[in-house]
Amino acid sequence: MQYRSLGKQGLKVSALGYGCMGWGYSGGTKSDAVTFIRQVVDQGVNFFDTAEVYGPYENEEMVGEALSPIRNQVILATKFGFNIIDGQNKGVTSKPDHIRKVVDASLKRLKTDYIDLLYQHRVDPNVPIEDVAGTVKELIQAGKVKYFGMSEAGVKTLRRAHAVQPVSALQNEYSLWTRQIETDGILQTCEELGIGLVPFSPLGRGFLTGTLNANSQFDPKDLRSVFPRFTVKAMEKNQGLIQLLQQIAEEKKTTLAQIALAWLLAQKPWIVPIPGTTKMHRLTENIGSLNISLTPEEINKIRKKVETFEVEGNRYPDAVLAMTGL
């Protein structure tokens, strides 16, 4: 396994992490999740991503059960930032007292006495980010947290938070069909401040694997069922992007997923994607991307090809999109 550093504070993780969110949404049991997550560790991955809102709570419990026996071998990341009442997400909140309460609850579910990387899941416009960063700083000083992360934050907010408590990692969507962070200043700011980038959905929520098309059906529990890029019309049009990538994959004698991940890994040495899957052959395929070397010419060729294609549909519904980049 290859390793990369997130931020300048010493957080070193496997070059590919594992997004655990799918467990609890895929229909798999807790036993299935525990078995699979331990197999992920056996494959050399040591960086695991979860959140209290996944389930809610259920995902953290699965991850905790799976990793507690080998806690010293892994890096655990979880998130706070939503107001969960009676099992329902009632919007964002990052009040300091709420953060402390959530962290204590997450520690219990994860069966650990410290969280390696604690993210603010979404920015709360009603709480100064300095108060949020200051609270996480206190948790770090108390030994409950080791590193501070943010998710889907805008440049100004990221800078203000970093001035109070260094941000080790920013989690944002980034892939061959979602490249907004290249133009909105996020990527440049991360490089300037020494913040690692953790792209979620690096395979476009499965679309960039080439296994989805206009005939694909989604369970109502599957978030893609309400995402604009996964309507029949959008998936029909976006097949054009898959055709472009397929040509490149054939030239490299590899898969679409491996091309998508290899391209992302090649952008910066401090980028650590966290693809999620519940299938072992997909996990093996994803890890195989670490063995694919792209020349600068190939990287630029891929970029030029995808830039000629206009993706149909926003990555989120409008209400969810409004919660990002604050």
Pinpoint the alpha helices (H) of the chain.
Answer: 30-42, 58-67, 96-109, 129-141, 155-164, 186-193, 232-252, 256-267, 280-288, 296-307, 318-321
Residue 84: the pLDDT is 96
User: Is 57 assigned a catalytic role?
Assistant: no
Write the CATH number of the domain with boundaries 3-203+268-292: 3.20.20.100
Task: Specify the pairing of strand 115-120 against strand 75-80.
Answer: parallel
Q: What is the mean pLDDT of each run of 10 residues along the chain (326 residues)?
A: 97 98 84 97 98 96 98 98 95 98 98 98 98 98 98 98 98 97 97 98 97 93 93 97 95 96 98 97 98 95 94 96 94
Q: Tell me, what amino acid is at 111?
A: K
Structure confidence by residue, pLDDT tens digits, 57-109: 999 999 999 999 999 999 999 999 999 999 999 999 999 999 999 999 999 99
Assigned token pair, 64: 């905790």
Torsion, CA 287, CA 291, CA 296, CA 298, rounded to 10: -80
Side chain identity at residue 55, one-letter code? G
In this predicted structure, what is the pLDDT of residue 221? 84
Q: Could you say which of 3, 18, 54, 147 is catalytic?
A: 54
Nearest to 45 by CA among 67, 69, 23: 67
Residue from 314, 71, 8 nearest 322 by CA: 314
Task: Supply the pLDDT for residue 309.
Answer: 95
